[in-house]
Every structure is written in structure tokens, then in C-alpha cells.
Structure 1
Amino acid sequence: MKRIGTPHRQRGIVPPQSSRGNQDMCKETECMNGAGHSLQRELKKLRVLYDLAIAMTADRTLEENLQMIVDKSRELLETDTAYIALRDKTRGDVYMHSLSGIRTEAFKKMRIPFGKGLGGMVATTRRGIIVEDYFGEKKIAHVVDAIVAEEGVSSGMAVPVQIGRVNFGVLYAFDRKKRSFSQADLETLHLIGNLAAVEIGRKRAEDSANRSRVELESERRYRELVEGSRDGYAMADLNGKIVESNTSFRGMLLYSEEELRNLTHKDITPPKWHPMESELVVTQLLRRGYTDVFEKEFIRKDGTIFPAEIRVYSARDDKGNVIGAWALIRDITERKRAEQELRESEGKFRDLFDNVSDFIYFHDMEGNFIETNLSFKKAYGFENHSSASFHVRDLMPEETRTLFDDYIQRLLNKGQDEGFMKVVTPKGREVLIEYKNALVRGQGGQILGVRGSARDVTERVRAAKEKKRLEAQILSAQRIEAIGTLAGGIAHNFNNLLMGIQGNATLARLEVSPEGSVDRKLENIENLVKSGAKLTSQLLGYARGGRYEVKPVNLNKIVKEISNTFAQARKDITVELELSGSLKGVEADQGQIEQATLNLLVNAGDAMPAGGKVIIRTRNVKHGAMSGKPYKAKAGNYVLLEIQDFGTGMDRVTMERLFQPFFTTKGMGKGTGLGLASVYGIVKGHGGYIDVSSRESEGSTFRIYLPASDRAIFKDKEVPDGIVRGSGTILVVDDEEMILEVGKGMLETLGYTVLVSRSGREAVDIYRKNPSEVDLVMLDLVMPEMGGSETYLHLRSINPNVRVLLSSGFSLDTVAKEMIDQGCEGFIQKPFFLQELSKEVAKILSPSSQSMTRSQHRRKE
């Protein structure tokens, strides 16, 4: 390894030897040629150095100039690589800055501790070094051998980049093969290194000058800002003496700048504030370099005192040493006066503000509540907290909080906003409020926030919804009632027509051979009449409840019989019974309750086309157990019939129309839509209630509540099967000529003498003339002028023991039931058949019935 101090070269010319021959002359020629080559290299070196020096004067960045230097170094010295490593004083190491010919990324990113390795030796000794074998040199402290080896460094040179004793870094030139470098080469690299040092020094001097200009400009602007500020500014040294202040601060205190320089901060502060300031210096200023904003008072030159808001900062010199403190001061005299006026006026309306039931509030444009009345605080659970800790979003449900921005935008667009909003109290209660808000502006038109009022309308809206729901229920009930009335009227007229057809067919069959084709055709007519009667029976069941003969019946017995019949028809459905052993009786028409039960079982079966399970339950309940239902039950005891299936279930739309006549979910020709409608009518006609609960795919449960009866279960009298003939006189009363004709014919066929009357008045007149001769009055219920009920009263006035069999195309309704309670013997619905009529008449005219009926009337009278 060769080292040089100040590079120098000695040159001389060897004198010629005349005594030597051609050989000497040849050597002299070779010397001259070598000198020529050296001269060319020197010229090239000077040309490159000149070009570099000129290039350094151009408007380029430091990075561009240093890159040019390493590129030219590599070119001039014909080396594989050349690079500059600069010193980082902050980190205390050297990093690769400008490189030429370097291949490996690790080498480019390499950092070496300052003073280590080849570069460290060059920087600390400030001398250039030639290395002919890098890895063989023992004097070098090898610190990055692996990276250098990967790059392939073998021989090279390094020179310091420095001006005087100020070192900036090191300039390197290396080959990847072994090579001997001359001191002339080292001198050349030295010259280039000096150029690099000059360029670095020049750029840094320019940067320093630019920074000085910026700092001066910043200082000027700072002074302008301080002097032009409405807030006061003052600086004090470590002794508290005021050394600097702005015009605003001097104006607050009424002192001149010179006067203020002769005072300390304690001279202008009332003594009561001195302990607090001393504490702030210790607890805040010395610990973190500034204080929180705080309030204090100052003493003016005239002795008056004014309040101020102040914040103090540590003042430091260029080396970071604390040299005093400076502060920003704001005169808050006007603010304090306004606050005092506000407090004085606030007491006048605070009671009104807090005691109104509406919510009154003020919030800023970010949604932070600034002020709220007591009603608002109590409603939303922060009466013991500051309103400022709550935000409008805090009261909104999570899913609607994004609507806050839309609310603010509406206020900005229109100046006001009103509407409804769901809010949630801290206790989790969700309420609906109706609000009306408006922007509040200052005297200059600036927006201060939002003032508004609101009220809790949760109950009002709930009541409105409940009212709407009840109105819908009433409307639905009225619609069903209207449809029922229409259906009942149609069924009544249709039954009268069927009665005429049925009666004539029955009488005709008595006149033809039972083996003939005419008899079969007449029998077909009778069967068709039966089918029609079933249809009208369903219509009447819906319209009037279908009660023909009311008596105490055993609901458990009905359920067992009907469920057994249903199970035989649908063997793919299991029927489970959960019947109360102490079930009370119900006042009902057994046939109609059987029909209602069967209809519900058929409906359950339709919901389970692939089979399944039905559970039937009965039990005694009180009206209190029916609370929460869509009706208000009358006080009393009830018997519950519950039928649960596990079928397809129903949606809400279906459930709303469930009991409407002719509504069906079945296909065309598969259902009349009267099954559940008739169940509704039957239950209603018996003074009961029905409701249903259902979920799609989970099944449905129907519940029928019938008034319980304390009377003993009625047992029917035995009547012989077949047609029962008899004797006696019967008065038939009906306004339909065809009914009179058919009824007269059927009764005469049974062996009775028949009188006919086409109106109630005529019937009363006939009966009054010979009451003892008439054994039974067969009375139509619905007639013009004098109806069946009024006719019956007139007949009873003539003979209290008059026996009456009611007949109607309607089912047994309230009027007919009252007449039976008053003493009518029975009820038969049109169309009726000869066998049915014979049994009903025989039952009434039997001696036991006659004696029982008369004894009953005597007890009533």
C-alpha cells in the first residue's frame, strides 16, 4: 500500500551519450515515445479537469454534479468503478451517494461507521491511498468484506473529499482485476476529489444563505403578525422582566413600550394571581414547555383591572436553552360582561325553559349539544351530566346515524328543518320525536348553531296506529256483517225455493211406483235439494250462526265423534286429543258445533296434503285469559276448543281474509270458500270468539271460545226411525203459496188435518175462532206486515199453552231462540224432508211432550 502526502513529481531530461551506438539511439527513441504518451495523458487529464470545472458552474443540483464527477473519474482513470461516499454527521456513519459502474444493490445501500475501513483511514489521515490488493492488505480494518467481495473489488485508490480540515467524505476508484496505480493516478484522483469538495462546500454555503434569507423573511412576517394581531403578545426574561411586547398588549395596559420594559409580569398582575402562576410554571411550563389556556387579571397603568385569557410558552435560544417565557393574551372584558348579562337574563326565563314539557335545545353544526332544557335531559337520561358531552348521533339508532349529515345539509340549504326522527335513550328505550329546528346566526350573519324544539310523539303515533288498526278491524267486521246479511237473505230465499222443489218431489214420489224410472228421477231431485241445502246451510252458518236447536252439549263428546270420523277419512293424519276431564257444557246447537269442528279439521288436513299430526285440546278458561286478543271478551267463563296443525301455515295477507265468504286458496272447483266463513258465523252466533295464529311452514292454531253453561247436558228423546204418522189438526202459516201447498200436502200424507194461513193476521183470526181444535201451529218466522214473533205473541195471548213449531229458510237466530225460550216447541229449517217433518211433529204432539211443555209454562207463569 502506498501513501502520499502533498503530491509532487520530479521531471528531468537524461543527456545524450555520443559514444553509444545504434542501441543507445533506439533507447533514446523509446524514451521520447514514452514522454509523448505521458504528455498526451497529461493533456487529457487537464482537458477533463477543465471540463469538470466549467460544468460545475452550470445550474445543476449537487446530485447531478457529483454524479458527473464519478463518471469522469472512471473515464479518466480507466477504472471499473468510481463512487463518492458522504459523511452523515447526524448518524455518525458514511453512506454511498454517487456511484458509477457499481452492480450490486447491497453495495449501493451500504453504510459504514465513520473512521472504519479504507475510507475511514483516508478520512481520518486526510491522505490518499493506493491499494494493489484489497483483501491482502493487512492495515485495512475490513468491515464490509462480503459486500465488497460480491462487487469484485480488487485494486484501487481512495482520496479525501475535504476543504481544509472539514471532511465531507471519500472519493474511490477501483478495478475488479489487480492493477498497479501510479502516484500520478493518485494525484489525478486527488484533484477530482478537491473539485467535489469545492462543489459540496459551495452548495452547502448557498443552502445556508438561503436558509438565512428564509429565516429573515419568516422573522419579518412573524413581527408583522405579532404587531397586527388583536391579541396581546409579551416576552419576559428569567427574572420576569418584560423585554418585548406588541401594540395590542401595550394598548390593553395603557403603557408605552419603554414604560413596560421597566416592569416585571408581577407588577402588572394582582397579587392574588401570583401563587397560581408560580404553580403553572412548575407543573406545566417547565415540564412540557407551555401551559393550558387559563384566565387571570391584569392591572392597567390607571390602576383598573381587566380579565384576560392567556397561554404561556417557554422561550429558548438557538442552542435550546430556556431564556424566558412569552405569552399570548386576550382581553375578555366584553366576553365577561356578555356572560354576566346572559346569567342575569337567564334566571328570568330558566324556569319557563326547564319546565315546559317540550324539549328545547341548542347544538353546534357538528352536532354537539351546547344547551338543553330539563325536560330534554330527563327524557334522555343525562340530567346529571353536561349536555356538551352528548352528540346528536348518540341519540340516533346505529342504523340511522349516517342520516345526520343529510339533516345538517337540509339546514344549510333551507335554514330550517322539521320532521320525525327515531332516537334511543341511554337506557335503550327507542322513542319517536317530532322536531322543528332552525339555524341561529350571529350579528355578522355567521352560523352559530342550531336552535330547536321537539316532543315525544311515541304514544301519539302508537295510539294513531292502534286507532287505524281498530278502524280496519271494525271496517272488516262491518264488511263481513254486510256480506253475511246479504248471504243470509239469499240463502233464505233459496231455501224457500228448495222447499217447494223438495216438497213437490216428495209428494210426487208417493204417487208413482217406487220401482219406476220416475221415482229414481224424483229421488235425484231430492238429492240435489239436499246438496243445495248444505250450501245454504254454510251460508246461513256464516250469516246467522246456524243455530237450530240450542241446548247444553258436551264438547268433548263432539270432538271425539268428529275426530274419529275425520281420522277414518284421512288415515295419513294422526289426531291427538288433550281433553279436559272437568270440561263444562256449552249452550249450542250440536249440529252446528259438529260442522264447525269438522270444517276446522278439514282445513288442517288441507294444510298437510302429505299427512301429519293434528292436536285437539279443550279446557275451561275465564275471560281474563283472552286479553290481548283482537276483540274484547265479555266477562264470564268460557270453554276453549283448540285445533293445532303442523302444515303449511299462512302469511299475513291470507290471515286477514281468512273468514271472508268465498275466499279460498284452493284451485278452481276445489273449494267454495265457505268452510271457515261458516265457522266464524257459527261461533259468532253462539256468542263466542275465534282467533288464529300461524307461521308459514310451521302450521296454524285455531282457538274457539264458547260461553260455558252450568246446566246439565241435554239428552235427546228417542224418536223411531222412518216416517212417523199421526193425527190431529195443524195450522200452517206462511206467506209463500208454494210452501203452503207443499206443507199441507206433506202433513196430510202423514195423517194430519191441515189448515192454512197466508199471513200472521189471518192465522190469529183462524186460531181465535177455534183454539181448542188446533193441536199445533207450524209458523213461518219471516213474513210481511206481521212477522212470526208478533204472531206468536198474539197466539199466546189467546192460549198460553199454544204449541208452535217454528219454520224458516233462515237458521235459528236470536229472535227464534227467544221465541223458543218463551215456549215455542221446536224449530225446523227449510227445506225439510217428509221423514224429518214427521219426527219433529211427532215429538211435539207426543203425550209426554205435551205434559212436560205445559208444566214448564206453568212454572214460567
Structure 2
Amino acid sequence: MLEIKFKEFGNKSKIIIITTFSACAIGIMHYFHTTVETGTVFTHFFYIPIILASLWWKEKGLVVPLFLATVLILSHNFLRIDITTINDYFRAMMFMIVALIVIALSNHIDKMEEYLKKTLKDNKKLFSTTLNSIGDGVIATDTEGYVIHINPVAESLTGWKQKETVGKCLKDIFNVVNEHTGKKIEYPINRVIKNGLTVGLENQTILIAKDGTKRHIDNSCAPIKDDKGNIVGTVLVFRDITERKQQEKSLADEKEQLAVTLRSIGDGVITTDTRGNVVLFNKVAEEITGWHEEEAKGKHINTVFKIINETTRKNVENPIEKVMRKGMVIGLGNHTVLISRDGTEKLIADSGAPVRDKKGNIIGVILVFRDVTKTRRMQDFAARAQRLETAGRIAGQIAHDFNNLLGPLIAYPDFIKETLPKDHPALEYIDDMEKSAERISEINQQLLTLGRRGHYNQEPMNLNEIINKAVNQMEPIPNTLIVNLDLKKDLMNIMGGPSQIFRVISNLLTNAREAMQDIGQLTIKTENYYVDKMFGKFGRVPKGEYVKLTIADTGCGIPDNIIPKIFDPFFTTKTTDKVRGSGLGLSVIHGVVKDHNGYIDIDTTIGKETSFYLYFPITRETVEKIEDDRIVGGSEKILIVDDDHVQREVSLKLLGKLGYEALAINSGEKALSIIKDDPHDLIILDMIMPGGIDGAETYRRVLEINPNQRAIIVSGYTESDRVKEAIDLGAGTFIRKPLTLKTIAHAVRKELDR
């Protein structure tokens, strides 16, 4: 209705304008004819209404030139102006010609406009169809960054619909952050418009959809230019690469696992073509042969791989020719000696195998070899590992039983103290009992570590802080012992368990003091260390960034025949009752360092000094602030699941003291039955429950009933992978038996407040 009224108003306005101009033209003509008394006709005034009428009304506008021509002719006849009729007819003809020309031009312009509109509409439709057909997400914006189009794929990835996005700012619908930092990524529109070039967003980009879904994306932004090259907008193209990222991660993990395996084996690898010319030469092959890969490539195998029989000193048959002849895997005979580039002789064991294409044709040969000395060392390590495993299995079972027995001894002294007056003489005995129980618990933890049955929460930590704590807790230092601390100020962090690392440092410091009998110098040094070449006597330290800890003493040193045994469980050189140890110290150190993906190396000189070097991989994560050490309770409902009656009673008493409403049962199956009908705020799960489902499986089934169920894993010992599995499912802090009021209070409150 409004449009019709506006149209009517427009037509009326046009009539008024045409009438006004026509009247003015006629009036001017009469004025000059009658008042000025001249026969001049100001024809150009008549063309104004004629042109306007022709433009506005097209053919209908011909009425105006006809009307004006008629008025012109009649006026001259009526006023008897001295103007020939032929001139008036000529003017009338010109009026019509001008009107027709204007009408023709106007019609042509209208057709062109209609054609251009149709073309623009078709182009927009084609543009929209094209964008909608693209398999990637596409968002088009103007130069200010406001969305003008979004295709269906972009709708699916962002969660925004076309009608919701048009006119919105790009940053409102395209929420991208850095995968690692979580910080928003700078939008490239300004750079694209400024430079006129295609810009890709930084790697590791995460797109957060409208519903919060996160996806890895690959993307780029390019300018949209008109025919003259002017930038009129931008187009953002992106695709979901989450699956590819997962595949890349899996592939990277596989490669890393393979690389670690190869580094552990320490074999040299050489591949050749069918003529025996070197194609590939790995780093270990370089170390053994003394040839660099760049030098060895293209040379014949006999040049870089010279082998003789150790006994006869005669040349051994070329392994490449032997493989090509037999077409199968071959092994060289025993007592094969490799003569390296510098003339050094190394006893090696090796094998060769054909490399075949998909059709089974031999296209080359691969030769794998290793230094027998290193192999024998690896065998020694394997034998020692077997001894560790055997001893650890026994130690772990003993430690598990100890932990169950220690529960009341650790927890109940606090309860007994509360029932006695502060001056009661029995308190002194109870304190001694408590200290003894804690000492037994500490030894028990060493047994667990030895048996690889312990799991501990790893977190970013600074080694300097642990060292300072260990040094401060050392027994009084006599004047005869000088302690040199050389701790790097900007030391990188490592990932690990603080209590485990503290035990490592304390054991090393104790061993060093005993080796010197508290007379000499004890040096403790930390540094950021980059390993650019593999080395190590007790396991090869691979390339990478590490925090290096050095603990050196000026004691008696370690004999060569003792060094291979120092990490064996229960091995000790202490013979007197006063200083005799458990023989667990260095075994525990070795186990903890290995659990931290670290490495140990030793330098020792009899009668002079011994230096232990520990290498821990660095982490870029920062150290979290220390939590409040206060014991805080609560009133929430907690379900205890433990197969041991004593442990259930201990847990009930500890939680009751903290104010919680606790219920204890002896199996995971019962826990599932209770959770269905009686929800609890927290479940405390024992990991190992013989005769039924364990803690991890119980928690997995509980989550099927209540996906938001909170839980804590507790155990005397457990396999690391089962604990990690439970934690990956969503379980909170892992705490080890025996339980204390402080540990269970902190763990429960932390999980309930999470």
C-alpha cells in the first residue's frame, strides 16, 4: 500500500513538474511576443518538458510535444505573429523527433538496465551455486569484515546459518584459537585488504563452533577484486582436518615409537641397489664405519663396509652378492670383524635381506649390523632387567600386603592421640610407633618403585626446588664436608612426581656422603643441556633438550667390576651394621629416572671421585602454585569400594572424622547396584579387587549409569596403564595406601571442588 501511494505521489509530482515547465515555456513565449513584441521563439525552453515527459512516460509522453506544438502554432495564428507556418511545423517536427530520440534512448537504457540486472542476478545465482557446491567451507565478507555469504559446508562447520550470519562481523561467527595456547588468532582480513595477497592463518588452528564443538581446520583468506583490480571484499576458505590431524598424530606416534626402538637397538643400517652401490646410510652406520652418509652414497659396499674373519683374517664374502645370489635373508658367520675408516676393528653381528617391489622383484639389499660389544651390553642390561622384574614382582606383592597392614598403623595414632590428654606418657610411645610406621611406608614405596607397580601423578616441576628441599632436610653437615650448590637460575621445568624425584636426590646425596664419610666436597649442579649426539654407558641418551643434574663427590670411587651391578636390586657394598642399607637405593633411582623418560650416566675414578649425571626431558609447561595445605572436610556422600575389610574401616574412620557421610562396600559389582538407586557425590575405588571387576572397570561401568560421577583411585600398588586408563576416563587424583588424614582430605576435597 505504501509503495502504491508513493508511486501515485511520484506521478502527481511529475505532472506538476511537466505542467510547470510547459507553462513557463508558453509564458516566456507570450511575454516576448506581446510585451517585447519580438517574433523570436525560445524553442529550447520547450525541450525541457518534452525531454522529461519522454524519459518518464515513454510513448505516453508524446502527448506533451504534440500539445506544445499545437499551442505554439495556435498562438502564432491567434496573435498574428509574423512567423511563417512552415517554421512552426518544422519546430513541431523537431519536438516530435527529439521526443522520439529520447524515448528510444530511454528504452535502450531500460533494456540495458534490465539486462544488467538479469546478468547480475544470474551471476549472483551462479556465484552462490558455485560457493555452495564447493566441498570446503567458504565465507565471503565485504572490506569491513561483515559477512555477505556463507556456504552450507561453512554452516555445518561453524554452526551458523546463512540468514543468521549476513551482516554480522566475521569474528562473531568464525571463532578460531591456537591449538596449544587457546588464545584467539588474529583475523587476516586487514592484511589481505592492505596487501592484496592471499594469507593463511597460523598452523595449529582450532575452530570453535556455535555449540562449542572444536575442530582442527586448514584455512586461507584471499581478496575479492572487481574488473579494475579494486578489492571489494575477502573470501575465507577452510576445511575440517580433524581426522587428518588424528592420523598425523597416530603416524607421528608410530614413527616416534619406531625411532625409540631403533635408538634402543642401536643397529647400523645400509641399503644398496642391486649392483651394491650405497643408497642409505643411517647414523649408527656412520658411527660404526666412520663414513658419513653423504660420502658413502654411491660408493660400492666393499669400500665402506670392509669385513674380515676374526680368526683367519681373510676377507668375508660380500653380503650383497650373497643376498642377490640366494634371494633370501642371510646372516654372516660368527667372528666377523668390521674395519672402520680409521682402521679400528669392531666385532659385529649382521644380516642382509633382499628389498622387493610389489611384484616381488629384488630392487636392492638392506644390511643391518651392530657392534657385538654393544649387543653384549644390551644382553647384560636385559639380564639385569629380568632380575629387576623378578625381584620387583616379589617386592611388589610384599609391598601390597604391607600397605594393607600399614593402614591402621598410619591412620590410627592420630585417633588415639585425640583420646589421651596432652601430658599422657603413652603419647611418646605412640609418636615413636607413628614414625616407625612412616619409615616402613617409605621403604615400602621403594619396593613399589622397584617393582614398577607404583603410579604417581606427574606435573610440571622445577628441579632446583626439589634439590633445595633435599639439601635442607639432610642430616647436620659437619665442617669437614663442603657442599657446593651450582643451580642454574633459569632452569627449565621437567615433568614428574615431586616425591619420587625427591627420593632420587636424597638417595644420591646419602650415598655420596657415605662414600666420603662426610669428609670432602659434595657438588650439586643443574643446567639446561642439549644432547646433539647419542651417548651413555647405561643406556644411550638420545638427542634432545634436557635438564641435567650432576651430583659429584670426592669419595672412594666405584671399582670397574662393581659398576655393572650397582643398579641391581638388593645389591650393596655396605658391610657394617651401622651403614648397611637395604640395597634398594640405586635400584629405585634407576627405576624412577626410567619412569620419567630420563637417563643416567656415571663417571668414577677409584680413590678420587664419582659423578652421577641424570638427564630429564624438559617440558614447556609451567609449575602450578602450591595448593593450600590445610585439612578441610565436608558433608558430601562418599562411597568407599575396597575388598580389604581393614582398609574399609580405616577409610570410614578418616572420612567420618572429616565430616563426610561415608558408606563402605567390598566389590565393584555392589557399587554399581548402589549407584543406580542411591547417587553419591564421590566414589573412592580400590584399583585391585581380586575375584571381581577392578577399580578402572568399575568406574567405566559407573559412568554408563552417571556420566558425571566423580571418583578417586586408591591402591597399595597397581599397574600404571590401569591407573592411567581410569584417569583418562575422568577419575581424579590417584592416592596410594596407606591412607593418612591429610592425603585423603586433600584428594577428596580437590575432586569434589573440581
- TM-score, with normalisation over the residues of structure 2? 0.49
